[in-house]
Amino acid sequence: MSKILIVEDEESIAELEKDYLELSGFEVHIETNGESGLKEALDGEYDLILLDLMLPGVDGFEICKRVRKVKNTPILLVSAKKDDIDKIRGLGLGADDYVTKPFSPSELVARVKAHLARYERLIGSAVQENEIIEIRGIKIDKTARRVYVNGEEKQFTTKEFDLLTFLAQNPNRVFTKEELFREIWDMESVGDIATVTVHIKKIREKIEFDTAKPQYIETIWGVGYRFKV
């Protein structure tokens, strides 16, 4: 449930806003003066702030500026005076929108919903899901570079991780040791294709139940390896 902070000194307006927002399924908290409003806006966890401009103590302009310095929470300014709007625009306070009193409650709710949806989209696009490969009990988190075997995390060196991931991403394809060496180690690397054999052995020790009978990375005699699915 989205939480909304209302900072408004006129209690009848605050209650009206609260009623309509609660009817729309929001959780609402009211502060009726500038100081407590600023404190709550800074310390609390809110999804949106509905902020009256003319407040005793610290006014809405100041609250908006101070909150914006540390948080991206959407802020809707509520103003009684038409000419405040020009001031809001001119100041570049970082408010997301404004509503002038008197407002229709349904319009207010619609604006609140629109800004919440926009903000959630922004957050959603910033946080991307990890890229994960899962094959029969093995989970490779490519983003976090972690490997889990039957739910238990195993430690892999960089090259072991790269090699395992490459094979798992190309299942059922046979790669020669030369191909794997070219793929995982760059040309300047010290070593030769025997390095591949050593790494395969180490990976098997971590992922295979019985390294003598590998279930994941198979040896194709005379050719190379493949990750079996």
Q: What are the residues binding Ca ion (CB under 5 A)?
A: 9, 52, 54
Nearer to Ca ion, 59 or 162 (CB): 59
Angstrom distance (rounded) from CA 51 to CA 68: 13
Minimum CB separation of residue 143 from Ca ion in Å reads 47
Minimum CB separation of residue 18 from Ca ion in Å reads 15
Minimum CB separation of residue 50 from Ca ion in Å reads 12
Angstrom distance (rounded) from CA 64 to CA 93: 6
Residues forming beta bridges with residue 99, ordered by sequence position = 78
Angstrom distance (rounded) from CA 33 to CA 10: 9
Nearer to Ca ion, 54 or 85 (CB): 54
Nearer to Ca ion, 51 or 164 (CB): 51
Minimum CB separation of residue 151 from Ca ion in Å reads 56
Q: Are the C-beta atoms of residues 111 and 97 closer than 8 Å to each other?
A: yes
Parallel, antiparallel or unpaired: strands 224-227 and 175-176: antiparallel
Minimum CB separation of residue 169 from Ca ion in Å reads 60
Instruction: Tell me the CA distances in angstroms from 215 to 202, 210, 219, one per residue in order.
Output: 15, 8, 10
Nearer to Ca ion, 6 or 140 (CB): 6
Angstrom distance (rounded) from CA 28 to CA 16: 11
Nearer to Ca ion, 40 or 52 (CB): 52
